[in-house]
């Protein structure tokens, strides 16, 4: 087998220390992280071949000439969900983790270019070439879902608008209620949007089996389509499309628009007090599944949660495995390994059984499709609903109200005015500040800092600051006085911290010097 792409990630492949963290780590008691086992494929199929380490050992055997890949090998490698949980759990490379997703993507490109994709992938490929979607649905039928929209909603197609709604293949052909709900919500919000005149698959379906040429072709076509609309934002309700637009499109082309998920749009509208929600007809216990492509791959965790928490009459409960440690729904291998894909969905649903919800929400047509099927087969006592569908009829348009100045804002504004407080920290350091139930984060840039409301999912450290401490800290005239006050408040237990990054990372980012100045050590 000719190896081209895999050679580009050799350093990554050989940075695996074979420590086995990726096998079945349970880190709840040992580190306080909500990691309860890692790869669902390993949990279901059992052998270590299905861990990241096991796959890397096999890839190394190929590179070193000890193993000749064949169709069986390809079928085995295509069982990987590419969900990235192993990368999240991995602590090699000073905690950064081996980028196993990149390794698997490179391998799949080589498998594809050597003719080692599976028959099911060939079917998808044929459909992509003929119909520009993986579902063997006629391309000309792609707008059929518009027919069921309420009469008062009109949708522009291929016209100029500020927002372009990229529907995605699954919402177009399979879970059309998500597409319909998105359009209804956009209309309700008064968003100036259009559909693309000729939308093709975002490229995700080709990415699954490593079809790099196809990905590029699809991206190129869709970019032309977006350009025609002059859109400043591409909005999507699909986690897969979102990730491909955010991560892959810029790899090949320079983008002159921003990509946003519908959950982010709702979150912004909430923050700007432009909308609120009414209660559902009955009180509901609601939980949320983080789609891998929106969560782990794109770091969008807060927006959907902010939306759910803003709905009155809804009790929000998190499963044990959530956010960055969530378990994949199995959807990404549905074409190559449909049975296994469904088993993964059933495995994931056990997490939700424990929190006993009425409704399971998510933000992705793939997750919706796979988990719904699992719920049906397992006869679960709860239903699955996509977030945009769930909120569609609950949205209430508000007039923007004045933002109340709160104590957390006071501290945030103080810190913005005093970036020198963080001078010991290296670029890229992030601290979450928790004040009176609100969270903002400070990110160290090259010469200054950026303060943004909301929790940063990759923060190095969480700081918990009492209102008394905020008053004291914001009274400090300069850094010296601030640090002195910080020390006093720390001793009085008015503020505390909890590191998220490991010791090595903290030391490399300058936290030890910072903590020393702050009197914590």
Residues of this chain that bind other proteins (CB under 8 A): 10-11, 14-21, 23-32, 45-49, 51, 53-55, 57-58, 61, 66-67, 72-73, 76, 91-96, 499, 502-513, 515-516, 520-521
40 vs 365, which CB is nearer to other proteins? Answer: 40
Work out how close the CB of 117 gets to other proteins at its nearest, in angstroms, rounded to a whole number. 17
94 vs 401, which CB is nearer to other proteins? Answer: 94
What DSSP line would sit under 314-359, residue for residue?
EEEE--SS-GGGPPP-SGGGTTT-HHHHHHHHHHHHHHHHTT--SE
Q: Are 471 and 408 in contact (CB under 8 A)?
A: no
Strand ranges of the sheet holding 163-166, from the earlier edge strand across to the other edge: 156-157, 193-195, 163-166, 233-236, 258-261
177 vs 462, which CB is nearer to other proteins? Answer: 462
**d(Cα 143, Cα 307) in Å, to the nearest integer?**
29
18 vs 126, which CB is nearer to other proteins? Answer: 18
Work out how close the CB of 500 gets to other proteins at its nearest, in angstroms, rounded to a whole number. 10
**d(Cα 241, Cα 261) in Å, to the nearest integer?**
9
Work out how close the CB of 324 gets to other proteins at its nearest, in angstroms, rounded to a whole number. 16
475 vs 502, which CB is nearer to other proteins? Answer: 502
3-state secondary structure of 261: strand
What angle separates helix 262-271 from helix 176-188, to the nearest 10 degrees? 30
- Tokens linked to 359: 């409704």
Work out how close the CB of 427 gets to other proteins at its nearest, in angstroms, rounded to a whole number. 14
- Count Cα atoms within 13 angstroms, Cβ side, for 359: 19
Work out how close the CB of 82 gets to other proteins at its nearest, in angstroms, rounded to a whole number. 18
What angle separates helix 52-63 from helix 100-113, to the nearest 10 degrees? 50
Beta bridge partners of 497: 463
61 vs 189, which CB is nearer to other proteins? Answer: 61
62 vs 238, which CB is nearer to other proteins? Answer: 62
Work out how close the CB of 17 gets to other proteins at its nearest, in angstroms, rounded to a whole number. 4
Work out how close the CB of 492 gets to other proteins at its nearest, in angstroms, rounded to a whole number. 16
Which segments of 206-355 are extended strands (E)? 233-236, 258-261, 275-277, 284-288, 314-317
Beta bridge partners of 449: 444
| Helix boundaries (H) for 379-466 | 387-391, 407-417
30 vs 152, which CB is nearer to other proteins? Answer: 30
359 vs 520, which CB is nearer to other proteins? Answer: 520
255 vs 320, which CB is nearer to other proteins? Answer: 320
Work out how close the CB of 459 gets to other proteins at its nearest, in angstroms, rounded to a whole number. 15
The single-letter DSSP state of residue 310 is: T
Q: Are 135 and 169 in contact (CB under 8 A)?
A: yes
- Calculate the dihedral angle through the C-alpha atoms of 132, 135, 139, 141, rounding to the nearest 10 degrees: -160
Work out how close the CB of 515 gets to other proteins at its nearest, in angstroms, rounded to a whole number. 6
Q: How far apart are the first and last CA of the chain?
A: 55
**d(Cα 75, Cα 93) in Å, to the nearest integer?**
30
Work out how close the CB of 297 gets to other proteins at its nearest, in angstroms, rounded to a whole number. 23
Q: Is the dihedral of CA 385, 279, 290, 206 positive or negative?
A: positive
Say if strands 461-465 and 495-499 run parallel, antiparallel, or are unpaired: antiparallel
């Amino acid at each position: 087998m000719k190896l081209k792409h895999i050679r580009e990630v050799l350093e990554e492949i050989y940075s695996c220390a074979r420590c086995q963290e990726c096998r079945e780590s349970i880190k709840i008691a040992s580190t306080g992280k909500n990691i309860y086992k890692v790869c669902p494929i390993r949990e279901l199929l059992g052998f270590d071949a299905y861990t990241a380490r096991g796959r890397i050992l096999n890839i190394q055997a190929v590179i070193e000439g000890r193993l000749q890949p064949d169709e069986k090998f390809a079928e085995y490698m295509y069982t990987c969900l590419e969900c990235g949980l192993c990368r999240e759990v991995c602590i090699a490379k000073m905690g950064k983790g081996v980028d196993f997703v990149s390794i698997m993507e490179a391998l799949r490109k080589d498998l594809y270019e050597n003719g080692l994709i599976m028959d099911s992938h060939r079917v998808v490929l044929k459909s992509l070439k003929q119909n520009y979607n993986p579902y063997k649905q006629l391309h000309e039928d792609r707008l059929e879902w518009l027919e069921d929209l309420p009469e008062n909603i009109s949708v522009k197609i291929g016209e100029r608008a500020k927002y372009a709604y990229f529907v995605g293949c699954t919402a177009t052909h399979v879970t059309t209620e998500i597409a319909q709900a998105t359009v209804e919500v956009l209309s309700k919000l008064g968003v100036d949007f259009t559909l693309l005149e000729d939308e093709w698959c975002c490229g995700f379906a080709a990415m699954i089996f490593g079809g790099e040429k196809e990905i590029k072709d699809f991206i190129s076509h869709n970019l032309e389509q977006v350009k025609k609309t002059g859109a400043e934002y591409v909005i999507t309700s699909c986690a897969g499309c979102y990730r491909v637009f955010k991560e892959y499109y810029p790899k090949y082309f320079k983008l002159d628009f921003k990509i946003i998920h519908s959950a982010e749009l709702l979150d912004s509208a909430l923050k700007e007090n432009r909308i609120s929600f009414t209660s559902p007809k009955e009180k509901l216990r609601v939980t949320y599944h983080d789609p891998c492509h929106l969560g782990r791959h794109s770091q969008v965790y807060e927006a959907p949660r902010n939306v759910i928490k803003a709905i009155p009459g809804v009790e929000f409960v998190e499963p044990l495995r959530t956010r960055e440690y969530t378990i994949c729904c199995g959807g990404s291998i549905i074409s190559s390994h449909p049975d296994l894909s469904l088993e993964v969905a059933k495995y994931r649903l056990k997490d939700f059984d424990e929190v006993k919800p009425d409704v399971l929400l998510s933000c992705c047509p793939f997750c919706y499709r796979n988990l719904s099927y699992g719920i049906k087969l397992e006869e679960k006592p709860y239903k699955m609903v996509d977030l945009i569908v769930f909120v569609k009829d609950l949205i209430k348009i508000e007039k923007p109200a004045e933002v109340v100045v709160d104590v957390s804002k006071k501290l945030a504004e103080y810190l913005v005015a005093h970036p020198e407080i963080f001078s010991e920290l290296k670029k890229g350091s992030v601290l979450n500040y928790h004040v009176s139930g609100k969270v903002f984060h400070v990110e160290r840039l090259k010469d200054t800092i950026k303060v943004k409301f909301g929790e940063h999912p990759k923060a190095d450290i969480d700081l918990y600051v009492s209102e008394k401490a905020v008053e004291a800290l914001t009274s400090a005239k300069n850094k010296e006085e601030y640090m002195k006050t910080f020390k006093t408040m720390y001793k009085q237990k008015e503020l505390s911290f909890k590191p998220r990054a490991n010791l090595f990372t903290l030391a490399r980012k300058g936290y030890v010097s910072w903590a020393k100045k702050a009197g914590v050590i």
